[in-house]
A = this chain, B = another copy of it.
Amino acid sequence: MNADDTLRGSASKELFQILRDGAPRTRSELATLTGFSRSTVAQRVEVLMRGGLLRPVGDAASTGGRPSTQFVFNTTGRVVLAVDVGASHVKIAISDLRGRPLVGDSVAIEVAAGPEEVLSWVERSGIALLETAGYQLADLVAIGVGLPGPVEHSTGRPINPPIMPGWNRYDVAGRLRASFGVEVLVDNDVNIMALGERELAWPDVDHLMFVKVATGIGSGVISSGSLQRGDQGTAGDIGHIFVSRGSDVLCRCGNRGCLEALASGPAIASALSSRSITASTSQDVIDLVRLGNLDAIQAVRQAGRDVGEVLTACVSLINPAVIVIGGSMAQAGEHLIAGVREMVYSRSMPLATGHLQITQSRAGADAAILGASMLAIQFVFSPEQVDDVLLLGR
């Protein structure tokens, strides 16, 4: 993109941000709203139409003379590719410009198989899905990817991910950018899930924390309406915060008393095993709880209290309006969340919990794909990027 495009872009941005609300408007209304000349508006509407971001709709009631065409945000004019890489599955979807999946596909691949196997499948299946949905490569505006480990968001590379051998500092964004010719946004799975949960269930909430309790424990933090990654992208990484009852429990990170070493699915299973109850995975624990096993119920409740102890500090520090508990262990009925609530409400200051909701994930298994779509859409429609979208592949 040359400097001249950048300069002309500023008018497009302003028009497009106005039209993103979904209401149809005439050229003349847009000129009044922005203060741009009629000719600037006409030219930029043309560019936005050519970019697939606007479409004309029926004529406005005219006061006489030539009828005035209205223009509206064309939510299916272009698409994004959403990718959710889990420990033992990969899901992808082609989503519209509101983040809603149009078509999807999934496959059972271990992430430990390495980036070549996983990303080759994403490339093949992504191209095929585009065609199934009736789009071309030039219609794709961006790709959002969630990975099950720490990610350097600015470069799109996983950083020392514990369950992803072969992926350390692999250029995921660069590889998919080369294959598809569009920007690729990569983030860790919990951040993606926070975006998805908010989009689906809490669109008007600006302060939301999504906590995943599964094989590991982590969180995605949305403050003032934006996903917070912190200085090095590790914001939300609550799995290794110290829990007071656990000072003698060794964690895989080398410290003692980490939340993850006490309250993750495998940690609960291990505690049950030490009492001669057969359990080794999150699913084993969930099954025992569903069968009404009292030891398992007690252990899950205690894990909830441990998570709650850590969340009490989080509530004091960031004062969220909503805490969503997700991940596989959230399926163990109300016991986990009951423990969380017990601790948070007894230990926090009243002003911080007066309006706080602590609730189960509603997006469930769909949170990640929806979130990956939103990650891509929020990027391409940010004020800094929208020009590039208009020009890409056109």
A-to-B contact residues, CB < 8 Å: 7-8, 10-11, 14, 32-37, 40, 150, 159-160, 206-207, 219, 221, 223-224, 226, 228-238, 240-242, 244, 247, 253, 255, 309-310, 312-314, 316-321, 347-349, 351-352, 354-356
Contacts and interface: CB of A to CB of B under 8 A. Distances in A.
Given A232-B355, A310-B313, 6 more contacts: A7-B35, A231-B320, A233-B351, A241-B313, A313-B314, A314-B317
Given A7-B35, A312-B241, A317 B319 contact: no
B231 A313 contact: no
Contacts of A37: 37
A146 B236 CA distance: 30
Contacts of A255: 347
A318 B10 contact: no
Q: What is the copy number of this chain in the assembly? A: 2
A219 B11 CA distance: 41
B319 A318 contact: no
Nearest to A14: B10
Contact of A317 (B221, B242, B349): B221
Contacts of A314: 313, 317
A253 to B, nearest CB: 7
Contacts of A348: 240
Contact of A351 (B34, B150, B319): B150
A138 B34 CA distance: 29
Contacts of A241: 312-313, 316-317
Closest 4 CB pairs of A and B: A230-B319, A231-B321, A235-B319, A207-B231
B347 A242 contact: yes
Contacts of A355: 231-232
Nearest to A12: B35
A276 B7 CA distance: 72
Contacts of A150: 351
A162 to B, nearest CB: 11
A347 B356 CA distance: 29
A154 to B, nearest CB: 12
27 contacts: A7-B33, A7-B35, A35-B40, A36-B36, A150-B351, A221-B318, A223-B228, A230-B318, A230-B320, A230-B352, A231-B319, A231-B320, A232-B351, A233-B319, A234-B316, A234-B352, A235-B317, A235-B318, A237-B316, A241-B312, A241-B316, A241-B317, A242-B309, A242-B312, A242-B347, A310-B313, A313-B313
Given A7-B33, A36-B35, A228 B235 contact: no
Nearest to A235: B319
A232 B316 contact: no
Contact of A352 (B206, B237, B310, B313): B237
B312 A238 contact: no
A35 B313 CA distance: 49
A214 to B, nearest CB: 18
A349 B228 contact: no
A293 to B, nearest CB: 31
B309 A236 contact: no
A207 B231 CA distance: 6
Contacts of A319: 229-235, 237
